[in-house]
Amino acid sequence: MRSFAFAVAYWGLSIGYGLTAAFAALIPGRDATAFVIRAYVRRMVQAMRLLAGIRIEVRGKDRLPAGAFIIASKHQSWGDGFATYDQFDDLAFVTGDHLEKFPLLGTVLRKLGAIVVNNCGGREARDSLKQSGATAHREGRRILIYPEGNLARVGEKFRYRSGVWHMYRDFDMPVVPLASNLGLFWPQEAFRKTPGLATLEFLDPIPTGLGKEAFLARLEEVIEQRTAELIAEARGGPVVPAVRVLAPDEARRAGQIVAPARDAARP
């Protein structure tokens, strides 16, 4: 019943606030649209708590540096975005271009100043990150990015992509890693929700100046280690490192490579 009640609230809030944000997007400037989206996020976090029974504990906000910075977050749950966005007054975020396929949502995303990139990555995605990210940087906004580029199951991880490093280098901004165990309670995009206390933890900022390999290795290490610890804390069990798996686009490319080989083997 909790999951059903939350699903009703989720779609009701999303449709209602989505339409309101679309009308607000007609007003010059970003303030009206941002006000609607902040209200939407607050209501969604409340629905998570009151209907789904998922409470959010946020740790480490005292570690956040002054001024603009990049938040590089673990992404286990559709709820990650709501919970993180709720912590800031004006947050730019990186999202996949699949969201633009929803009616009116593309307009709202553009008005919000969201950084929309190609889900498959590559040069086009990096160029979009650079151009749209530069605008957010000039405005002094914090930027949220999911360096794995996909929703991961609890206990799994994907390759950390280089887009976050390009922003870190180009904009000379510190990166704040963000660990989470929210996937235990709201797994990926699943209908079923499990009541409990989910934790988001901001970790020590990574200072500017690191090379690509050193930066990505450090980012992955601190996020994955702390995420595994938060999962173990919630479960009351041992710390189990996440297992690396292929991202959806990597799996598709691997399938395209294997298929011709199987065909060639046929008589």
Task: State pLDDT tens for residues 150-190.
Answer: 899 999 999 999 889 988 998 888 999 999 999 999 999 89
- By C-alpha distance, which of 214, 223, 212, 217 is closest to 181? 223
**Which two structure tokens, joined as six digits, stand for 160?**
């950390």
**pLDDT tens-digit series, residues 32-64:** 999 999 999 999 999 999 999 999 999 999 999
Strands (DSSP E) contained in the chain are 54-59, 70-73, 91-96, 115-117, 142-145, 156-157, 175-180, 196-202, 243-244
pTM of the predicted model as reported, rounded to 2 decimal places: 0.86
71-100 average pLDDT score: 86
CB 9 within 8 A of CB 47: yes
Q: How far is C-alpha 137 from the geometric centre of its chain's CA atoms?
A: 18
User: Which DSSP helix (H) or strand (E) runs through 186?
Assistant: none
Q: How far is C-alpha 109 from the geometric centre of its chain's CA atoms?
A: 15
Residue 248 and residue 167: Cα distance in Å, rounded?
A: 24
Q: What whole-number percentage of the chain has pLDDT above 90?
A: 58
- Any idea how long the chain is? 267
Domains annotated for the chain, with CATH where assigned, are 55-257 (3.40.1130.10)
